[in-house]
Structure 1
Amino acid sequence: MKIKATLDRIPGGMMVVPLLIAAVINTFFPDLLRIGNFTQALFVDGAGTLISLFLLCTGAQINVKSFGVSVGKGATLLATKWAVGAIFGLIAYMLAGDNGLWLGLAPIAVIAAMTNSNGGLFVALVGQYGSKEDRAAYSLLALNDGPFLTMVALSIFGAMGFVDGMFSFTSFISVLLPIVVGMVLGNLDEDMRTFLDKGSSMLIPFFAFALGMGIDFAAILEGGLSGIILGILTVFVTGSAGYFVFKALKWNPIVGAAEGSTAGNAVATPAAIAAANASFASVVDIATVQVAASTVTTAILLPIYVGFLVKRLEKKGYNFEQGNSEKANI
């Protein structure tokens, strides 16, 4: 029975499928796994611990030694992605209704989805249409993995009066310390980076399932369409922003467009945010579902959008032969 192969064929399947299965169980059979001991500890109550370990494994993949490679492109990608997501998040907070939602979207879902990019998808697209220098830019773009930049945006909004409460220094440290520990281990020992890299993938379905056990099916129905809309916004707004910024700088614009996705690990960001500041707890469920829906939507839509952009550039004389881009007059 090819369970993994089947999940791999579904965009974001390792995360989305366990989350949805758990949400169905929680909705119709809420006490099925709430039987105590190891079963409940892993499948129901384990989200916080599993996410913490996941962040540690993810942090180990950030290689500080490679920051000097293509740092300009990486920094541009990082800044563009964050700025666009933060601006839309601020708009969402300013225009949110009494239920705390804007067009059905939780503002923290907007920030989490639009500031986190799918590294695998980025590398795949840039590997096809970019150069080695372009691919190396991800060494810095990888910093948008996890909740850090989302917390930075929310803290700024708190200072501006748009968010109830700010993150204390201790709150920042409590969420970021696993990432820092992972970075230290990964950069001190390449073997540890390789070892922990396996955990990054393995933990996703388990913390996704635990998160799903805190979601009611009604929240999925409510968040599904709005999550798709969030994915569409992520592709066309953040992807287009990156495209035009890179085009203006005379760089391969496809590399800029390739960051217009939502990372699969961004599904853990709302829970991590709520762990650091309880004022966000009320929207964690719907935000988690919306980020998950955005992940799937961007995984499907971004390659199509990039393909459309590539055809336009090729008509204007841009060459993407064997991953080496040669600028034309665009």
Structure 2
Amino acid sequence: MRIKATLEKIPGGMMVVPLLLAAILNTFVPDLLRIGNFTQALFVDGASTLIALFLLCTGAQINLKSAGVSLGKGATLLATKWVVGAAIGLIAYTFAGENGLWLGLAPIAIIAAMTNSNGGLYVAMVGQYGDKTDRAAYSLLALNDGPFFTMVALAIFGTMGFVDGMFSFVSFMSVLLPIIVGMVLGNLDGEMRTFLDKGSSMLIPFFAFALGMGIDFGSIIEGGLSGIILGLLTVFVTGTFGYFVFKAMKWNPIAGAAEGSTAGNAVATPAAIAAASASFATHVDLATVQVAASTVTSAVLLPIYIAFLVKRLEKKGVHLPEDYAIKE
């Protein structure tokens, strides 16, 4: 069987196929691989560890001369994701009906879903279509994990003030450190750089499968049409804006589009904000299921959208990632 060749024929196949396969298993037979020990550690609970190892391998490929490019890309991704998500949230607050909803969506759900991105999906997408600077950009993009940037948007809108403890420098460093370790190893020893380079592609299907084991298609049903709409907005609005911002910067536009998703941990954001301000308690349950639906919808739809964009670039004669690779 030519498994690898078959997967490579599918746009994003090394990431999409394992992720969808795992999501199907998790939806219909969730306990099949939750049997403990090595099986569960690798196929269910291993996403964070595998992504951390992937980032270390990626860090080893970064020449210190190009580190500034990675930071610039990360800052651009972070800013674009937040500005677009916050702007749509402001529109929702402005045109919300008497029930406080816009298009059936809770504004807090919009901001929570659209300002927070799925780092695992981003890493998988740029792992296939981006270069090492695109992958290392995740070190800054990871800052949008959790409720902090949702709080910032709400504070700016005047609906609530800043809340202490929503940003942790230690958490930020915990994301950055594997990249730094890899960067040090790769710059000290060229042979280590070559050795670790293999992990940059080999790990993708494994952490994609583990990510899929956190997806339940039932969340789409529970969140209803409004949750699906939120997922569509997240992919097509934030992803498209990211695409054109990166294109304008003459960077790989696929890396810009790859932030068009909602992270699983964003599901907890409405409750965290409601705990900080009781004025949001009214819609916390609705917002939670809508964000959950957006998480699943964007996880399924973003790779398909990325594949479409890649095909569009290929028809124009663009070869990814070679044509956008940073020359050292």
- Taking structure 1 as the reference length, the TM-score comes to 0.65
Q: 1:107 Cα deviation (Å)?
A: 0.3
Q: 1:189 Cα deviation (Å)?
A: 10
**How far apart, CA to CA, are the structure 2 residues paired with 1:105 and 1:290?**
8
**How far apart, CA to CA, are the structure 1 residues paired with 2:310 and 2:176?**
36
**How far apart, CA to CA, are the structure 2 residues paired with 1:244 and 1:287?**
29
Asked if the contact 2:232/2:297 (under 8 Å) is kept, the reply is: yes
- The alpha-carbon distance between structure 1 residues 248 and 69, as it changes in their structure 2 partners (threshold 3 A), is closer
Alpha-carbon RMSD across the aligned residues, in angstroms, is 3.6
- The alpha-carbon distance between structure 1 residues 220 and 184, as it changes in their structure 2 partners (threshold 3 A), is closer
SS of alignment partner, residue 281 of structure 1:
helix
Q: 1:180 Cα deviation (Å)?
A: 3.8
Residues 1:167 and 2:151 are matched in the alignment: no
Partner of 1:90: 90
Partner of 1:106: 106
SS of alignment partner, residue 319 of structure 2:
coil
Aligned pairs (5 A) from 1:1-330: 9-10=22-23, 68=68, 70-158=70-158, 163=159, 166-168=160-162, 172-176=163-167, 179-183=168-172, 223-320=223-320, 323-326=321-324
Q: 1:174 Cα deviation (Å)?
A: 3.9
Asked if the contact 1:85/1:115 (under 8 Å) is kept, the reply is: yes
SS of alignment partner, residue 10 of structure 1:
helix
**How far apart, CA to CA, are the structure 1 residues paired with 2:176 and 2:19?**
34
Partner of 1:23: none
- The alpha-carbon distance between structure 1 residues 143 and 182, as it changes in their structure 2 partners (threshold 3 A), is closer
Q: Percent identity?
A: 68
Asked if the contact 1:220/1:286 (under 8 Å) is kept, the reply is: no
- The alpha-carbon distance between structure 1 residues 189 and 135, as it changes in their structure 2 partners (threshold 3 A), is closer
Q: 1:6 Cα deviation (Å)?
A: 10
- Taking structure 2 as the reference length, the TM-score comes to 0.65
Runs of 4+ in 1 over 2 A off after TM superposition: 5-8, 11-14, 65-69, 179-190, 219-223, 323-327
SS of alignment partner, residue 262 of structure 2:
coil
- The alpha-carbon distance between structure 1 residues 275 and 68, as it changes in their structure 2 partners (threshold 3 A), is farther
SS of alignment partner, residue 164 of structure 2:
helix
Q: 1:9 Cα deviation (Å)?
A: 1.2
- The alpha-carbon distance between structure 1 residues 72 and 128, as it changes in their structure 2 partners (threshold 3 A), is same
- The alpha-carbon distance between structure 1 residues 184 and 129, as it changes in their structure 2 partners (threshold 3 A), is closer
- The alpha-carbon distance between structure 1 residues 224 and 148, as it changes in their structure 2 partners (threshold 3 A), is same
Aligned length: 245
Instruction: Flag structure 2 segments of 5+ consecutive residues without an equivalent.
Output: 1-17, 32-47, 180-209
Asked if the contact 1:117/1:145 (under 8 Å) is kept, the reply is: yes
SS of alignment partner, residue 241 of structure 1:
helix
